[in-house]
C-alpha cells in the first residue's frame, strides 16, 4: 500500500510536469489581437479598396482612450493606416484617396468593447489593355492577428490572374473559421493582372458587422463577473467566491509553474513550508505581473505593446528556470554519485541538495512572472466601468484561488519522496534505493526541460 501511494505521488508529479512542458499557445484571436482585412475591387477605370481593422478588447481599450482624449486622433489614425497601404500598377505607386470611414464599437469580454474601423479608398487605374499590379498592407508589422486580402472584379473590369482569392473566408472579419483558428491567415499582399474598363460600378458599401471572436470559457466567466449593471453586497460576495473558484480551476490549466514545483519539491524532499512558500511566491508574482502589464497597457502602450512584452517575459522566465534547473541537475548528480560511492542501504537520512531561501524565491518568481491575460481583461474592464476597487478585489480573489490549488499540489508533491523512503525501510530496499537516488536527478531535469519549453515557446515572438 505504501509502495502504491509513493508511486502515485511521483506519477502525479510527472503528469503535471508533462502537461506544462508542452508550450501553450495563445488563441490567435485573443484579447491582444489587431485583425486586418483588405478587399481590392477592380472597378472599371479605378481600383477601390475597403480596409477593415478589427481591434480586440485590449487594443480597442487603448484606441478608445486616444479617441476620447484627442478629437483629431481618429482622422489621423485613418490617414496613417491609409499611408500604410501600398498599391502599385506597373512601376508606379498609385495614391489611394480616402473616402468614407466609420468606427463601430461592440460589446466584448468583461464589459470591454471591441472596435471595428472601416475605410473606403480609391485610386484611378492607368488606361491600358492589360495591367500588372500589386497590393501590400504594411500596417501593424509584427502584431498578432488575422490578416486577409481578397481581389475581385466589378463594373466592366476583368480580373485575369490573382494570387489572392476573390471571396473572404472570414466574411470580412465577421466570422473567423473555427478550423483555422490554430493557424490563422497571414496574408498581407497580393499580385494580380487585369484589364480596366471605362464603365465603373458604384462605390462598395461599408462592410458593417462585428468581427467574430472566440474566448476560452474560463476566462469568459471571469471577465463576465466584473460587468453586471448593478452591484449589490450579495452579488459582490458571490462574484468574489466565484473568482476564487475560477482561480483554483485556472491553476490546473497548463502553466503556472507546476512542473517546476514538481521537479524541485520531489527531488529536494521539500517540506510543507517549502511547498506553501513556492506556491505563494508563484501566485504573488503572477498577480504583480497583471498589475504591471495593466500599467504598461494604459500609460506606456505608445512605447511598447503588451503582446510584445509577453515573449520577452516568457523568455526571461524560461532562461532563469533553465539556469536554476541546470544547477540542480549538477548538484544532485554529484550528490547521487557521492551517495553511490559512500552510502549503504542505511543512508536514509541523506538529503539531496536544494535551494536556499534566495534560490527558492528566484524559482518562484521565474515560474510566476508571466501574467494572466484573463486577469488583465478584468483589470481594464474595471477601469473602464469605474469599478477599480471591485476589479482589484476580483483579481486578489482569483489569485487566492490560484494560490490554494498550487499550494495543495505542492503539499502533495512534498510527500512523494518521503513515502518512498518509508517503503524502502519496509523491505523494498533494492528497488527503492535506486529510485531514491535517481528521482532527484530526474526531477531536476524536469525543471530544466520546463524552462527549455518556455524558452523555445518565446523565441519566435521575440523581436
Rounded distance between C-alpha atoms, residue 379 and residue 373, angstroms: 10
Residue 162: is its pLDDT beyond 90? Answer: yes
Condensed to tens digits (0 to 9), the pLDDT of residues 335-374 reads 656 555 444 444 444 444 455 666 677 777 777 777 777 7
Task: Kindly report the average pLDDT of the chain as a whole number.
Answer: 75
Residue 117: is its pLDDT beyond 90? Answer: yes
Arithmetic mean of pLDDT, 241-247: 85
Q: 17-35 burial, b if ≥16 CB within 10 A, otherwise e?
A: bebbbeeeeebbbbbbbbb
How many CB atoms within 10 Å of residue 351?
10
Question: Counting Cβ atoms within 10 Å, is residue 165 exposed (0-12), middle (13-18) or buried (19+)?
Answer: middle
Q: Which residue has the cell 492607368?
A: 126
Task: Output the nine-digit C-alpha cell for 412.
Answer: 502533495
* Whether the Cβ atoms of residue 57 and residue 296 lie closer than 8 Å to each other: no
CA distances to 26, 76, 148, 215 from 31, rounded to whole Å, are 10, 24, 19, 9
How many CB atoms within 10 Å of residue 79?
13
- DSSP tag of 212: P
- Which of 2-11, 35-44, 68-77, 99-108 is predicted least confidently? 2-11
Condensed to tens digits (0 to 9), the pLDDT of residues 376-431 reads 777 887 777 778 888 888 888 888 888 788 777 777 766 655 555 555 555 555 55
How many CB atoms within 10 Å of residue 208?
12
More confident site: 38 or 458:
38
* Whether the Cβ atoms of residue 262 and residue 449 lie closer than 8 Å to each other: no
Arithmetic mean of pLDDT, 23-36: 63
For residue 11, the surrounding DSSP H or E stretch is helix 2-21
Phi, psi at residue 102, to the nearest 5°? -150, 155
How far out from the chain centre does Cα 433 lie? Answer: 43
* Whether the Cβ atoms of residue 92 and residue 207 lie closer than 8 Å to each other: no
CA triple 201-102-207, angle to 5 deg: 50
Q: Band of the pLDDT at 5, cuts 50, 70, 90?
A: very low
Condensed to tens digits (0 to 9), the pLDDT of residues 262-278 reads 566 655 556 677 777 77
Question: Counting Cβ atoms within 10 Å, is residue 243 exposed (0-12), middle (13-18) or buried (19+)?
Answer: buried
How many CB atoms within 10 Å of residue 4?
10
Beta bridge partners of 154: 43
Contacts of 429 (CB under 8 A, 6+ apart): 345
Residue 296: is its pLDDT beyond 50? Answer: yes
Condensed to tens digits (0 to 9), the pLDDT of residues 420-434 reads 555 555 555 555 556
Give the three-class secondary structure for 141.
coil
Rounded distance between C-alpha atoms, residue 335 and residue 323, angstroms: 18
Rounded distance between C-alpha atoms, residue 162 and residue 167, angstroms: 12
| Torsion, CA 398, CA 403, CA 404, CA 406, rounded to 10 | 130
CA distances to 11, 16, 252, 441, 457 from 20, rounded to whole Å, are 14, 6, 10, 19, 12
Amino acid at each position: 500500500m505504501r509502495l502504491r501511494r509513493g508511486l502515485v505521488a511521483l506519477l502525479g508529479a510527472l503528469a503535471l510536469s508533462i502537461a506544462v512542458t508542452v508550450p501553450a499557445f495563445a488563441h490567435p484571436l485573443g484579447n491582444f489581437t489587431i485583425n486586418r482585412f483588405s478587399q481590392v475591387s477592380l472597378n472599371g477605370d479605378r481600383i477601390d479598396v475597403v480596409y477593415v481593422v478589427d481591434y480586440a478588447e485590449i487594443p480597442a481599450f487603448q484606441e478608445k482612450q486616444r479617441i476620447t482624449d484627442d478629437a483629431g486622433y481618429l482622422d489621423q489614425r485613418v490617414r496613417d493606416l491609409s499611408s500604410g497601404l501600398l498599391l502599385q500598377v506597373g512601376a508606379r505607386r498609385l495614391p489611394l484617396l480616402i473616402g468614407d470611414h466609420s468606427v463601430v464599437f461592440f460589446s466584448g469580454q468583461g464589459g470591454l468593447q471591441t472596435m471595428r474601423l472601416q475605410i473606403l479608398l480609391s485610386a484611378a487605374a492607368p488606361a491600358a489593355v492589360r495591367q500588372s499590379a500589386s497590393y501590400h498592407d504594411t500596417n501593424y508589422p509584427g502584431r498578432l492577428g488575422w490578416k486577409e486580402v481578397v481581389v475581385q472584379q466589378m463594373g466592366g473590369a476583368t480580373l485575369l490572374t490573382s494570387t489572392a482569392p476573390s471571396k473572404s473566408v472570414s466574411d470580412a472579419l465577421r466570422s473567423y473559421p473555427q478550423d483555422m483558428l490554430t493557424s490563422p491567415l497571414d496574408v498581407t499582399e497580393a499580385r494580380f493582372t487585369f484589364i480596366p474598363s471605362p464603365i465603373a460600378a458604384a462605390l462598395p458599401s461599408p462592410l458593417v458587422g462585428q468581427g467574430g471572436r472566440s474566448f476560452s470559457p474560463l476566462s469568459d466567466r471571469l471577465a463576465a463577473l466584473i460587468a453586471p449593471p448593478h452591484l449589490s453586497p450579495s452579488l459582490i460576495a458571490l462574484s468574489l467566491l466565484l473568482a476564487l473558484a475560477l482561480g483554483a480551476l485556472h491553476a490546473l490549466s497548463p502553466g503556472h509553474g507546476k512542473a517546476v514545483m514538481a521537479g524541485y519539491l520531489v527531488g529536494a524532499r521539500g517540506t510543507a513550508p517549502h511547498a506553501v512558500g513556492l506556491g505563494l511566491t508563484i501566485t504573488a508574482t503572477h498577480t504583480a505581473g497583471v498589475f504591471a502589464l495593466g500599467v504598461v497597457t494604459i500609460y506606456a502602450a505608445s512605447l511598447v505593446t503588451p503582446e510584445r512584452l509577453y515573449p520577452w517575459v516568457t523568455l526571461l522566465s524560461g532562461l532563469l528556470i533553465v539556469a536554476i534547473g541546470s544547477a540542480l541537475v549538477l548538484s544532485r548528480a554529484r550528490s547521487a554519485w557521492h551517495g553511490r560511492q559512500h552510502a549503504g542501504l542505511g543512508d536514509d537520512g541523506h538529503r539531496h541538495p536544494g535551494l536556499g531561501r534566495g534560490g527558492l524565491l528566484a524559482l518562484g518568481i521565474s515560474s510566476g512572472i508571466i501574467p494572466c491575460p484573463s486577469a488583465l481583461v478584468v483589470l481594464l474592464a474595471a477601469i473602464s466601468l469605474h469599478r477599480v476597487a471591485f476589479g482589484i478585489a476580483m483579481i486578489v480573489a482569483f489569485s487566492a484561488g490560484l494560490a490554494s490549488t498550487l499550494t495543495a499540489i505542492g503539499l502533495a508533491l512534498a510527500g512523494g519522496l518521503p513515502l518512498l523512503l518509508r517503503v524502502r525501510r519496509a523491505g523494498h530496499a533494492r528497488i527503492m534505493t535506486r529510485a531514491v537516488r535517481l528521482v532527484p536527478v530526474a526531477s531536476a531535469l524536469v525543471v530544466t526541460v520546463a524552462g527549455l519549453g518556455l524558452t523555445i515557446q518565446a523565441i519566435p515572438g521575440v523581436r
